[in-house]
């Protein structure tokens, strides 16, 4: 696998409007296209950017602190999906891999040793046939 760079950061918020206003006003970010997801949220793009760099998920103010952790996950742009999955399988590490609807992306979610969720995003690389994936729409953590 080849790491190409940071793709995006996902944060949780109990106030979606205030979060959008903050990042728009102070960083010039723009709300843009987001595929249908099982939870409300927005994707923010750098001015003129071609992919979102900040994903914002709306959570209830009544959720527990663990459920609404401020940083949800780190995401990296990568190449070499099949090699990475083979390496994870050989090490006995758990992960979830699935295509993103309406895109040419595949995401692999795994946890680092500190419990931080890490997402690896692969473009134009299909999932290997032996991978059983969870329907993105049914996922409760996106």
- Overall number of domains in the chain: 1
Q: What is the CATH number of the domain that holds 46?
A: 3.10.180.10
Three-class SS state of 100: coil
Q: With a cut of 80, say whether residue 102 has pLDDT above it.
A: yes
Name all contacts of 43-46 with Cβ < 8 Å and 24+ positions apart.
Answer: 44/20
Q: With a cut of 80, say whether residue 129 has pLDDT above it.
A: no
Average pLDDT over residues 88-95: 88
Task: For 137, list phi and psi in degrees, rounded to 5.
Answer: -65, -30
Position 51 scores a pLDDT of 92
Instruction: Judge whether 56 and 20 are in contact, CB under 8 Å.
Output: yes
Q: With a cut of 70, say whether residue 84 has pLDDT above it.
A: yes
Position 142 scores a pLDDT of 39
pLDDT per residue over 3-32, tens digit each? 899 899 998 888 899 999 988 998 889 999
Q: What is the DSSP string of 28-45?
A: --EEE-----SS-EEEEE
State which residues form the domain around 34: 2-138
């Amino acid at each position: 696998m080849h790491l190409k760079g940071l793709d995006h950061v996902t944060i949780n918020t109990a106030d979606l409007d205030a979060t959008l206003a903050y990042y728009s006003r102070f960083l010039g970010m723009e709300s843009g296209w987001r595929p249908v997801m099982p939870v409300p949220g927005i994707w923010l793009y750098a001015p003129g950017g071609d992919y979102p760099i900040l994903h914002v998920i709306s959570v209830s103010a009544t959720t527990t602190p663990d459920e609404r952790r401020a940083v949800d996950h780190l995401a990296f742009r990568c190449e070499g999906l099949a090699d990475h999955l083979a390496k994870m399988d050989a090490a006995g590490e758990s992960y979830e891999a699935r295509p993103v609807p309406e895109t040419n992306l595949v995401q692999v979610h795994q946890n680092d040793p500190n419990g931080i969720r890490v997402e690896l995003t692969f473009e134009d690389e299909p999932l290997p046939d032996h991978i059983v994936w969870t329907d993105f729409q049914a996922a409760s953590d996106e």
